[in-house]
A and B are shown apart, each in its own frame.
Chain A
Amino acid sequence: MLGAEKLSDAYGGGDAEHWLAPAMNEDSPAPLPWTADEIFNYLRYGFDARHGIAAGPMVDVVQNLAKAREEDVRAIAVYIADRMRRPVRQAKSNDEANAFAQLQESAAVPGMGRDAIPARSGGVASDSGAAVFEGACATCHYSGSGLQSTKPVPLALTTSVNAPDPRNLIHVVQSGLWPASGERGAMMPGFAAELTDDQLVAVVSYVRERFSRQPPWHDVSQNVRAIRGTERR
């Protein structure tokens, strides 16, 4: 029936303005399960250090929730955390996810004095993706770079890098993250002018295959071409 709820798929995620709205049920792509406090951070401040930064259509949601009463936002967070019903087996993989994140963040950026990480089998990532990552991303997204002023969420823990499709990561690499005018917030430059479509494809594929234990994406190229031109600031 039109407009009816599909209860079997509750919180299963979907599409919002060409972004992927990630699942909030047991299919959540987040490597670390969300706690109620972390959901609160994300909804209230647009940022959680173990999951990522609100972007795309979520920016407006966070701006609106900033005006809501704090108890109400907390109540939403508690409710969502409860509905996520993450299976217990996920909990014991926390250490593993953290260890993987630490390894990938701190080891091996070619050219930064260590050996390159071998590409994982079945992937499409190339040397050109590694070179773009090193020249464009590693100054910030590399824990060995020793920059205390920029503390990004480790890529291996972010939802966009671990999501079932590359759309959200492409949006962020292309447009960057900009706080609303006059507001404080996380900032990342976009690379729409700096990188061609092919280079965006290369770096997005490289980031997926280096920082996620999920299978490689094979639809990066179509999505880069579809998203090109929708930059927003």
Chain B
Amino acid sequence: MIELNVNGRPQAVDADPATPLLYVLRDHLALNGAKFGCGLGQCGACTVMIDGKAAFSCVTPISALPGRKITTVEGLGTADNPGPLQQAFIDEQAAQCGYCIAGMIMRAQALLEANPSPTDDDIRRHMMPNLCRCGTHMRIVRAVQRAARTMKNVKNGAGVNVTTK
């Protein structure tokens, strides 16, 4: 048994220590947001956060994770109550097939936690490891900018439903 902390909840997982986190999320914990794209750390579809940093779950063995905090896209909100980044992706319609999007959101979340006011250039540089096969990039950059504004407004007490455009 390996003890993991996923989205704030402790989870005991019965799997080989070398099993990649992605397989455990999807096959053991039914958290299917993170996707399998390449399994090689080359596309970002599997991105989650580990201790607040964006990480490829397909190349992270669970043996590396006890005592660390894992956050998946499911940890940011629900369909009924989406978090600011999720809402921003909806508002900007920043998805075509959607396969890359959970990974994009998690990498963007790590950026906004470290840098609440990124420039477009910061966003592009930070998002570089994540690929989108559909070419949704411009909308993704807009969604990240929108979420940055919402998060700041929430912090300043302006409420979530501010118009940001």
A residues apposed to B, CB below 8 Å: 110-111, 128, 131-132, 134-137, 139-140, 147, 150, 176, 178, 181, 187-189, 191-196, 199, 233
Contact = CB atoms under 8 A, between A and B. Distances in A.
B144 interface: no
A139 B39 contact: yes
Given A134-B61, A233-B128, A193 B16 contact: no
Contacts of A192: 53
A199 B40 contact: no
Contacts of B60: 135-136, 194-195
B133 interface: no
Contacts of A135: 17-20, 59-64
A196 B61 CA distance: 12
26 contacts: A110-B18, A111-B16, A111-B18, A128-B17, A131-B17, A131-B61, A132-B63, A134-B18, A135-B17, A135-B18, A135-B19, A135-B62, A135-B64, A136-B59, A136-B61, A150-B40, A181-B128, A187-B42, A188-B41, A189-B56, A189-B59, A191-B59, A192-B53, A193-B54, A233-B125, A233-B128
B118 to A, nearest CB: 15
Considering the complex of A and B, which 8 residue pairs feature the smallest CB-CB distances, nearest first? Answer: A135-B61, A189-B41, A193-B53, A134-B18, A135-B18, A193-B55, A194-B60, A131-B17
A139 B40 contact: yes
A interface majority secondary structure: loop
Nearest to A196: B64
Given A132-B63, A140-B40, A194-B50, 6 more contacts: A111-B18, A131-B17, A135-B64, A187-B42, A189-B129, A196-B64
Contacts of B68: 196
Contacts of A140: 40
Contacts of A139: 39-40, 59
Contacts of A199: 64
Contacts of A132: 18, 61, 63-64
Contacts of A193: 50-51, 53-55
Contacts of A187: 42
Give the size category of B's interface with A.
Answer: 20 to 34
Contacts of B50: 193-194
A201 to B, nearest CB: 12
Interface centre among B16, B40, B55, B64 (most CB of A within 10 A): B64
A181 B121 CA distance: 13
Contacts of A176: 41
Interface string B30-63: 0000000001111000000011011110011111
A187 B131 CA distance: 14
Contacts of A178: 128
B63 A189 contact: no
A194 B59 contact: yes
Contacts of B41: 176, 188-189
A136 B58 CA distance: 8
A146 B135 CA distance: 30
Contacts of B63: 128, 131-132, 135
B45 to A, nearest CB: 13
A194 B55 contact: yes
A11 B39 CA distance: 41
Among B39, B56, B59, B62, chain A packs the most CB atoms within 10 A around the CB of B59
A192 B18 CA distance: 18
